[in-house]
Amino acid sequence: ASASAFKRNFASSAKPRMLNGRTLAPTINHNNSAGMKILAVLYKGGDAAKQEPRLLGTVENQLGIREWLESQGHEYIVTDDKEGPNSVFQRELKDAEVLITTPFHPGYLTRDLIAKAPNLKLCVTAGVGSDHIDLNAAVERKIQVLEVTGSNVTSVAEHVVMSILLLVRNFVPAHEMIERGDWQVSEVARNAYDLEGKVIGTLGAGRIGYRVLERLQPFNPKELLYYDYNPLPEEAAKKVGARRVEDLKEFVSQLDVLTVNAPLHEGTRNLINADLLKHFKKGAWLVNTARGAICNAEDVAAALKSGQLNGYAGDVWNVQPAPKEHPWRYMKNTLGGGNGMVPHYSGTTLDAQARYAAGTKQILENYFQGKPQEPANIIVGLGKYETKSYGKR
């Protein structure tokens, strides 16, 4: 039974391209019955992608897998056009078997779209974080959702540490002053602090959260705290000197700095809102590189304006690309600083792109050949969640 479950779970519907024990010659005939349609929604790289081939996650460089896929007779459609019923994404999805997306330019696979994609069997996230897919609908339809777990967790953890430092040390206004041609040390020093001696906490202590704790320990914080329904193994918590706090309000009320490192799901959407922000220490710093929609955009901007927050930094937005008028582009603290927002790129360094492109190829190869997938990569298996990270179930 498990062998057939495995076959249903992972094996490609494509007929093997073998004849009398010989592999058939590669073909790029898209109508070949051996091939399947693979649709990828990636971001447009423009001139940068033409000049820098290591920008693998772009429409131009196509994760570096076109030749390989076509040599096996598969049709590979790559687009950045993802919004609305006439988008390439929505049109091509209708008969695609595999969908590749990235969190950086998410093709939002809603329940409605899943209903219109009868052939869809596998979704691969080139990166980490699959909230742009309706995971509950994928469970119901027995569509598997895999991601390249771990591929960019160090990249993000480094960005988190950088963002904490740039907020606490008031770096952005100091740099802007230099670019303006000004020099008034007191104007920036009035809101600059040391990280040493502060209480820092992570909401979510998984792969990224734990790496953040590891990287923060040498700064000699007063205390490192974490909030997660999956407690760290005792040894791991001890190694970084982190204490778990089980009540969320109690957790945030102790922190000078909060870093958010949990996936977006029903239990984290809009979790950091005006109500919770009231329980923060006045003047705390907040860094969110997990998902924009975990924080309420208007409430965060208001907290910065009122002084409840001293700074907010991150690379993730509730809508991506973020519209020009998004409050997070322009919000400031009471002293005109405290904004460390950048576009979604912390997990897409060139090092990370090499890893998630290779990981995507491996997942596809396993799928084509009916080989088992790396268990850590499976978010949704055949009809059930395989991860414990998307909420208590």
- Label residue 302 left, alpha or beta by phi (over 0 means left) and psi (-120 to 50 means alpha): alpha
Q: Which of 152, 296, 339, 377 is catalytic?
A: 152
Nearer to ligand NAD, 303 or 316 (CB): 316
Task: Please say if 30 is a catalytic residue.
Answer: no
Least Cα distance to 318 among 300, 338, 304, 334 occurs for: 300
Q: Does 267 engage in binding with ligand NAD (CB under 6 A)?
A: yes
Token reading at 70: 């076509």
Q: Does 208 engage in binding with ligand NAD (CB under 6 A)?
A: yes
Site for ligand NAD in 65-104 (CB under 6 A): none
Give the H or E element holding residue 311.
strand 309-314
Rounded to an integer, what distance in angstroms lies between the CA atom of residue 350 and that of residue 330? Answer: 28
Task: Please say if 51 is a catalytic residue.
Answer: no
Part of the chain binding ligand NAD (CB under 6 A), chosen from 46-54, 137-145, 261-269, 275-283: 261-269
Task: Please say if 90 is a catalytic residue.
Answer: no
Nearer to ligand NAD, 117 or 123 (CB): 123
Site for ligand NAD in 310-329 (CB under 6 A): 315-316
Rounded to an integer, what distance in angstroms lies between the CA atom of residue 66 and that of residue 61? Answer: 9
Angle between helix 171-180 and helix 153-168 axes, rounded to 10 deg: 70
| 301 touches 273 (CB < 8 A) | no
Task: Please say if 393 is a catalytic residue.
Answer: no
Nearer to ligand NAD, 128 or 363 (CB): 128
The interface mask with ligand NAD, positions 230-249, x = CB under 6 A, is x-------------------
| 391 touches 266 (CB < 8 A) | yes
Whose tokens are 């003047």? That residue is 283
Q: Does 263 engage in binding with ligand NAD (CB under 6 A)?
A: yes
Site for ligand NAD in 109-148 (CB under 6 A): 127-129
Q: Does 229 engage in binding with ligand NAD (CB under 6 A)?
A: yes
Rounded to an integer, what distance in angstroms lies between the CA atom of residue 62 and that of residue 49? Answer: 10
- Residue 330 CB, nearest distance to ligand NAD (Å)? 21
Nearer to ligand NAD, 198 or 344 (CB): 344
- Residue 209 CB, nearest distance to ligand NAD (Å)? 6
DSSP single-letter state for residue 221: -
Please tell me the count of residues contacting ligand NAD according to CB under 6 A. Answer: 33
Part of the chain binding ligand NAD (CB under 6 A), chosen from 59-67, 212-220, 285-293, 324-332: 285-293
Q: Does 152 engage in binding with ligand NAD (CB under 6 A)?
A: yes
Least Cα distance to 273 among 309, 245, 244, 246 occurs for: 309
DSSP single-letter state for residue 220: -
**Following CA atoms 367, 370, 375, 381 in sequence, which dihedral angle do they give, to the nearest 10 degrees?**
70
- Residue 157 CB, nearest distance to ligand NAD (Å)? 9
Q: Does 195 engage in binding with ligand NAD (CB under 6 A)?
A: no
Nearer to ligand NAD, 45 or 73 (CB): 45
- Rounded alpha-carbon distances, angstroms, from residue 168 to 1, 4, 224, 254, 309: 56, 55, 16, 16, 12
Cβ neighbors of 22 (< 8 A, separation 6 or more) are none
Nearer to ligand NAD, 128 or 378 (CB): 128
Residue nearest to ligand NAD (CB): 206
| Catalytic residue annotation | 152, 291, 320, 344
> Which residues would be at the binding site for ligand NAD (CB under 6 A)?
127-129, 152-153, 156, 203-209, 227-230, 261-264, 267-268, 289-291, 315-316, 344, 346-347, 389, 391
